[in-house]
Amino acid sequence: MLKAGPRNLITDVAGLKVGNASDSKLKSGCTVLLCENPATAAVKVLGGAPGTRETDLLEPHNTVEQVNALVLSGGSAFGLDAGSGVQAALREEGIGFEVGTQRVPIVPGAVLFDLLNGGDKDWGRYPPYRELGYEATQSASSDFTLGTVGAGTGATVKGLKGGLGSASSVLESGVTIGALVAVNALGMVTVGKSRHFWAAPFEIGNEFGGLGLPHPFPADAAEIGTKFSDAARDANTTIGVIATDLILTSAQAKRLAIAAHDGYSRAVWPAHTPFDGDLVFALATGTSGRTPEIAEFIDLCAAAASTMARAIARGVHAATPADNDPFPVWRSLR
């Protein structure tokens, strides 16, 4: 049986902190995941419209195997600037990959599309994401808010406001796994037009409403509901991180990222579409001091999926309303 960690956040994985920066007028923001020590990382993209930074270096056959931070941002391609702000903050602290007399912070990132959500995107010559990245890094801590914050500030899903979600699980062995995700999917996170989340079988306690699955299933449960027919049809992409305190190789981290994508499929219908840039980063901090046996690694991959599904539901469940929102928040449904 899995149980949630003490915070039920990705920061239950020792060695990680999260910072958020949001601009309510812009209806956008960014989220940074900081590693206290360089952590082994990997990435898997399964969506058809990704926007990324420094992801090639994460392939297992390449030289740099560890990262100093990961950044998730709104702003579509403009949001890739957030990584430069994170780099600047880390460089000031002397953090980064050592090359001669220089240190280069390794900060891969990914973006979601939130340019059509009712926010004021008339930012002038340069987009604000570099400064948001710097601000998010400076605010990083073990505790952080979910919902309409950071990279989830302007996120949406079909029919509802999206948000930033997180969850954690502790395996019977004591190993911890955590998820962080900005939920901005083309598809639906609820069963038809009901209030019930697709992720309900994995809910721990009442972390996203405690409603379970509907019984009987509504007639529209299997209908393909997307934003494709809405004004926000192109405002998509779910980007996330799965992290553990185990010691993993780059190849194992890649497998963990692949497994976490099952959480997208469990929580969003449909997921991984041609109009989503769905992506999962994986991190292994190694703070447990343990390498997994094969049976434990199988359990870890299963927990990656369930923990990610829970984080997705929690992000939408925690969203709060703001002026000019294109969709209502989940809490307003009756």
Instruction: Residue 109: give its domain's CATH number.
Output: 3.60.70.12
Is 286 inside a domain boundary? yes
Is 333 inside a domain boundary? no
Is 303 inside a domain boundary? yes
From the CB of residue 272, how many other CB atoms can be counted at a distance below 10 Å? 19
Pairing of strands 102-104, 156-157: unpaired
pLDDT over 90 at 227, yes or no: no
Instruction: Look at the chain and report how many structural domains it folds into.
Output: 1
Is 101 inside a domain boundary? yes
Is 329 inside a domain boundary? no
Is 330 inside a domain boundary? no
Is 328 inside a domain boundary? no
| pLDDT band with cut points at 50, 70 and 90 for residue 232 | low
| Structure token pair of residue 208 | 């996203």
Is 334 inside a domain boundary? no
Q: Which residue has the higher pLDDT, 245 or 60?
A: 245
| pLDDT band with cut points at 50, 70 and 90 for residue 229 | low
The tens digit of pLDDT for each residue in 239-270 reads: 999 999 999 999 999 999 999 999 999 999 99
Cα–Cα distances in angstroms (integers) from residue 223 to residues 187, 218, 270, 327, in the given order: 11, 10, 10, 19
Mean pLDDT over the full length of the chain? 96
| pLDDT band with cut points at 50, 70 and 90 for residue 334 | confident
Residue keyed to tokens 């890649």: 254
Residue keyed to tokens 């990704």: 50
Contact criterion met (CB below 8 Å) for 198 and 190: yes
Give the residue among 36, 55, 99 at the shortest CA–CA distance from 243.
36
What percentage of the chain reaches a pLDDT higher than 90? 94
Helix (H) or strand (E) holding 242: strand 239-244
Beta bridge partners of 102: 99
- d(C-alpha 289, C-alpha 307), whole Å: 22
Cα–Cα distances in angstroms (integers) from residue 187 to residues 2, 36, 203, 228, 264, in the given order: 28, 35, 20, 9, 11
Q: What are phi and psi of 30, to 5 degrees?
A: -145, 160
Q: What is the DSSP string of 281-305?
A: EEEE--TT-----HHHHHHHHHHHH
pLDDT of residue 327: 93
pTM of this prediction exceeds 0.85: yes
Domain that holds residue 158: 3-322
- d(C-alpha 73, C-alpha 120), whole Å: 16
- d(C-alpha 112, C-alpha 318), whole Å: 19
From the CB of residue 334, how many other CB atoms can be counted at a distance below 10 Å? 3
Range 129-146 average pLDDT: 98
pLDDT over 70 at 234, yes or no: no
pLDDT of residue 266: 98
